[in-house]
Structure 1
Amino acid sequence: MARVLILFAHPALHRSRVNVSLMDAVQGMEGVTFRDLYEEYPNLHIDFETEQELLLEHDVIVWQHPFYWYSAPAILKEWQDVVLKYGFAYGEGGTKLAGKKVMSALTTGGPEEAYQREGYNRYTMKELLAPFDQTARLCGMEYLEPFVIHGVRQLTDEQIQAWAQRYKQCILELRNL
């Protein structure tokens, strides 16, 4: 059984019915560590040594967050800048993460059709997620197909629960790799 580390980053969780449901669906699962970065580091002072130890203890990393301005919330970017250091994650001697798998789990406000060449965002999700893919590649990790929920503001409670169950199933599949 693979060990899964979910790095959760949502600066306004109280306003996100979807992310609360996703979080609830996976917390307490065997082999899964759920880490709320904003709760852990409210001042954004990330303990890179602790975070690196966690990375070493897990086989699969999930970056779970809302897709803000075509990227991640500030704390996840800070986490990447501070934790994925030269000599640890990449560069000379930086092979500690080689062979691990990483996946983005995202929520968007816009509908799926907005993330197409013809859509109002002009780019596909694959194109917009290229920096995450390249970060994984630079670190020797395999970037998996992202788990994306579009149009979260329009979802009914029933649809949210269905997505939460799909997310739980996705995490179970990652754990069973």
Structure 2
Amino acid sequence: MMKKTLIIVAHPDIKHSTVNSRWIHELEKYPETFTIHQLYQSYPDGHIDKLFEQKLIESHMNIVLQFPVYWFSSPPLLKQWQDEVLTYGWAYGVHGDKLRDKKMGLAVSTGITAQDYSQQGRWGMTLPEILSPFELTAKYIRADYQTPFIFYGIDSHASYNAEALQKIDQSAQNYIEYLQRIFR
């Protein structure tokens, strides 16, 4: 039986998202399994309630950070969330053990192909290499980092044909399967 997973969504324009909003729609079919927490909807003014966020994390067995890749990293509110919520004495340091052994994963969407994110590709690095700060953060807070779920190649400014929409729908199903597999 899978334990309850907190999905922290950091998308600054979810109303115009195709991939991340589709993933949310799929996650909503499993309210007994997933808690969806949208940072940009919860904190439109950018003022994060650290204690609320910490209690929310403590009440879940698993954590997933879901976001579109922005400038080879996360949207800014997620970085702010990390800085303000993952504090000394709570997430790390003396008595900082609230994320110890919790499974932690990423679910990311990109507007670039997998080939571009390769050693031989346009950027000369894989996306897991680019996202390694998240893996190091998980290690630092003693969370159990999981292989990221990655959706490549849908540009947010592109028009979507039937084939692209089918690929997005399939990714939503694959996302649920990924979560069920790693968070058992």
> Are 1:160 and 2:168 an aligned pair?
yes
Paired position in structure 2 for 1:51: 53
Paired position in structure 2 for 1:111: 113
1:31-70 correspondence runs (5 A): 31-70=33-72
Unaligned regions of 5+ residues in structure 1, if any? none
**2: CA distance, partners of 1:164 / 1:42:** 26
AA of the residue aligned to 2:14: L
Count of residue correspondences? 176
**1: CA distance, partners of 2:29 / 2:42:** 17
Report how far residue 58 of structure 1 moved.
Answer: 0.7
Structure number with the bigger relative contact order (C-alpha 8 A, sep ≥ 6) is 1
Paired position in structure 2 for 1:84: 86
C-alpha contact (below 8 Å) 2:109/2:150 kept by paired residues: yes
Paired position in structure 2 for 1:23: 24
C-alpha contact (below 8 Å) 1:4/1:174 kept by paired residues: no
- How does the TM-score come out when normalised to structure 1? 0.95
After superposing on structure 2, the runs of 4+ consecutive aligned residues of structure 1 that deviate more than 6 Å are: none
**2: CA distance, partners of 1:158 / 1:122:** 29
Unaligned regions of 5+ residues in structure 2, if any? none
Paired position in structure 2 for 1:132: 134
Paired position in structure 1 for 2:98: 96
RMSD of Structure 2 on Structure 1 (CA): 1.3
Q: Which structure has more helix as a fraction of its residues?
A: 1
Report how far residue 28 of structure 1 moved.
Answer: 4.4
Report how far residue 20 of structure 1 moved.
Answer: 1.1
